[in-house]
Structure 1
Amino acid sequence: PLGGSNVGYWEPIANHYGLNLTLVNRSVDPTFGFMTLDWDGKIRMDCSSRYAMASLVNIKDDYDIAFGNDTDSDRHGIVTPSVGLMNPNHYLAVCIWYLFTNRSGWAPNTRIGKTLVSSSMIDRVAKEIGRELSEVPVGFKWFVSGLMDGSFGFVGEESAGATFLRKDGTVWTTDKDGIIPGLLAAEITAKTGKDPGAHYQDLTARLGTPYYNRVDSPANPEQKARLSKLSPEDVKAATLAGDPITDKLTKAPGNGAAIGGLKVTTENGWFAARPSGTENVYKIYAESFKSEEHLDQIINEASQIVNEAL
């Protein structure tokens, strides 16, 4: 753990379930002096950052699987011998594949939930395993009712937040839980003999390799307000990075709720733009299933499309 609230949980869990688990960091320090610095030289308990997680990544080959959580234990970082620190989107895809193909008892109509800026690799996994996917706006609150009534079996967001139902199909938690994705990574490794990083490589071999990025673009308060209220008709472009646009979304397809921005999709990629709540920028999330160069083209054209719509 990254010196957070779950330090005292791991050894009781290991003792109760007979796990061969090593607690590699017992430090509880309000200054977080044990942390390696993040990319910008700041101390940040970001379990998705290879800089913040460097201490764990450096010992990845000493363990079959390793994982850490942020300070309040609602996010996960999975470190594997095969690939090091996993991208959160990649691990979500592996979790979904594993849970629905290796655990029995799921109801036929149990769905998968994801936020609209999460990777479309999740869409491809859902299609492969024959499960309905529900795409909702950013925010875990949109998953609560589906978790409570059992219609969502697994839900996740791109920023390393996830939870899933108990084996009996009842709700475990309606908020992000950083502990159970870590334990699931251990289960995946033990049950299949391959770590989640290797399983993700198998997924890309079957379903394609996604290239994903998020960038910030300047926007004043008036532009941010307009972005949050766009309609599909405001987007005049017919193509994106050489591909015909297949959808222009300002409401989430999973529940019809406003997304507070815009998402544009094609067969081979997509982008979403949302105003920042704290800075004079809007955030562009983008993904390509072609190449890094194609991803860059999507991002460049996304800025043009959004600016023209504003």
Structure 2
Amino acid sequence: MALHPRAGQLAQAQDLIDLLSLMADYYTRVPSADDASQRVTFGTSGHRGSAAHSSFNQLHIWAITQAVVDYRREQGLLGPMLVGIDTHALSRAAFRSVIEVLVANQVVVIAQQDDGFTPTPVVSRYLVAHNRNVKALENGNSDLMDGLIITPSHNPPSDGGIKYNPPHGGPADSHATAWIEAKANLYLQQQMQGVKRVNYHLAISAGGVEYRDLYTPYISQLQDVIDMQAIAKAKVRIGVDPLGGSGIHYWSKIAKHYGLDITVINDKLDPTFSFMPLDKDGKVRMDCSSNMAMAGVVPARNQFDVCIANDPDFDRHGIVCPDGASVTGGLMDPNHFLAVAIDYLLSHRPDWPSTAAVGKTLVSSAMIDRICASHGRQLLEVPVGFKWFVDGLANSSILFGGEESAGASMLQRNGQTWCTDKDGFILGLLAAEIIAVTGKTPAERYHELCQALGTSVYQRIDSPINAKKKARFSQVSSDCVTVSQLAGDDITAVLTHAPGNNAAIGGLKVTTSNGWFAARPSGTEPLFKLYAESFVSAEHLSQLQQEAKIIMDNALKG
């Protein structure tokens, strides 16, 4: 995909959304239940869409919320529901729509006081902590709390999103999301017949929403997962750019609570996100793992020991290191920081269960495999999606779960569950802890890991694909690979199911002793994603990619 000529440059007026038009579209556009692009598509990251394209409108939110109410009744869940929102323009409007349906269905709603924003990890942690002490009711039902989070993550400002976290605190599994999706689309087809609603102002005046301080519990418990005392004692200088996201007011409170040296580089809150540099494709996108979107943060790297950025719902992290004697600073590749984080944690969490595994998605760097082997730790390799880590984080059989897209979470320092969704706060603070304890930046630590375990070259390429070929991915099998070598090395494995849990990966992964590739379709766009990594050289990676494309072209014929 070609780089946009203005990528990395500050957004201009013509790049920004028209807020009035966006709001009008949200309330007035009527999605067609017969148009697949306008139906509810509720995956593990929930439903996302655009009001202008009739894929995220008030009718969608009413239908989805009623479907969630129906689902939780099916599950015997009678407890309150925590509703969080991020800073996208449509999130506040969608919040009102959600409240109208929940209160009409007599669901007790918990929300941040003062109409504040609530990051995904704060919702997850609150659910985990609350539900730990909840007992089953006599009639077999449960007073457990679950949550709705209104966010399209790092998507452009024009988009909206909503996702459901069951009582375990993490992303809903495939069964739950399929159930909710089908029910919501049925409500759309029936033109909202069966959807209960009450006017938002009546819902609020009737006391249907209980407002709580969600800041304090989360912030005060951070010391249970991160060595905050070490960071404070070492006086680590931390620069933070929330990228206008939902955790924007948390950082100053964290600094005050723990006596940390935190400077918020950018405290702007603007639903058009006018302060953002354009991403690779020329769109405004709050992607803290993108060099282009992070072009406003990287120049400040030498003013601090580490800089941290997050996406709008704060489930992802971006780590920026200063220049050093052995390394050039800048935005760390997410795979590189995951490797450093795992290596550090395996040496500095003595109370973690010795039998617990490190979780990684199978498109993450094989450097993690080498680190786990060097520590004698079990590796659990699963398909793409954080949902695969939820149960393990909940029962402490997984000590760390990470994705190459800069999302991860981990256990508390004592080995108990912290949260079961991605947490951008704790990964950023972990970078500061690493500096405080080792005296080295994460970039310097990665350089040392490469010297000890080998240097890899990793790349993901997104390519257009038509609907027919995209559908063929579901039929790909190991028989599609008819060669015995890849880039000059013997093939050691051909995978269509993840080795960690035997779940289908929705594509193909081929490995050798010196590299690998994986191919899978995008869940939301007409693209297929080719991931590849070489422990030999950039030239070897290029050869690996070329041969991978030939293999996939043959596999997708038909």
Taking the aligned partners of 1:44 and 1:293, their CA distance within structure 2 comes to 31
Maintained 8 Å contact 1:3/1:27: yes
Contact 1:166 1:172 in 2 (8 A): yes
Deviations 1:258-285 (A, max 9, x none): 0000000000000001012333332110
Paired position in structure 2 for 1:135: 381
Measure the CA separation in 2 of the matches of 1:279 and 1:42: 15
1:222, CA displacement in angstroms? 2.2
CA distance in 2, matches of 1:181, 1:37: 25
> With structure 2 as the length reference, what TM-score do the two structures score?
0.55
Partners of 2:356 and 2:396 within 8 A in 1: yes
1:165 aligns with 2:411: yes
Pairing 1:30–2:271 present? yes
| Residue pair 2:480, 2:551 contacting (<8 A) in 1 also | no
Bigger helix fraction? 2
Deviates more, 1:153-162 or 1:276-285: 276-285
Which of 501, 513, 517 in structure 2 is aligned with 1:255? 501
Which runs of structure 2 are paired with 1:151-162 in the superposition (5 Å)?
151-162=397-408
Which secondary structure state, in structure 2, belongs to the residue aligned with residue 14 of structure 1?
A: helix
1:63-87: CA deviation from partner (whole Å, max 9, x where unpaired): 0111100111010000001321100
Using the TM superposition, give the Cα deviation of residue 220 of structure 1 relative to its aligned residue in structure 2, in angstroms: 2.3
The letter of the residue matching 1:155 is: G
RMSD: 1.0
**How do residues 65-76 of structure 1 correspond to structure 2 at under 5 angstroms?**
65-76=306-317
Q: CA deviation at 1:144?
A: 0.6
Deviation at 1:37, TM superposition (A): 1.7
Rounded Cα–Cα distance in structure 1 between residues aligned with 2:314 and 2:529? 25
Give the distance between the partners of 1:153 and 1:173, measured in 2 at CA: 11
For residues 3-14 of structure 1, what are the structure 2 equivalents within 5 Å? 3-14=244-255
List per-residue Cα deviations over 1:219-260 (Å, max 9, x = no partner). Answer: 322222222221212211111011010000000000000000
Asked whether 1:109 is paired with 2:355, we answer yes
Tell me by how many angstroms 1:290 deviates: 0.5
| 2:297 counterpart residue number | 56
Q: Whole-Å Cα distance in 2 between the matches of residues 40 and 264 of structure 1?
A: 29
Q: Equivalent residue of 2:408, what SS?
A: strand
- The count of aligned residue pairs is 310
Is the counterpart of residue 216 in structure 1 residue 467 in structure 2? no
Partners of 2:246 and 2:463 in 1: how far apart?
35
**Structure 1 position 167, deviation (Å):** 1.0
5+ residue gaps in structure 1? none
User: Alpha-carbon deviation of 1:159?
Assistant: 0.2
Distance, in Å, in 1 between the alignment partners of 2:403 and 2:287 is 15
What's the CA shift for 1:218? 3.9
Give 1:17's aligned amino acid.
Answer: Y
Is residue 228–residue 274 contact of structure 1 (8 Å, CA) maintained in 2? no
SS at match of 1:246: strand
In 2, the alpha carbon distance for the partners of 1:218 and 1:242 equals 28
2:553 to 302, 307, 310: 307
The one-letter code matched in structure 1 to 2:261 is N
Find the partner of 1:283 among 516, 529, 532. 529
Residue 267 of structure 1 is aligned with which of 499, 502, 513? 513
Which residue type is aligned with residue 550 of structure 2? Q
2:479 pairs with 1:228: no
Q: Which structure's CA Rg is the greater one?
A: 2
Name the amino acid aligned to 1:103: R
| More displaced stretch, 36-45 vs 242-251 | 36-45
Moved more, 191-200 or 219-228: 219-228
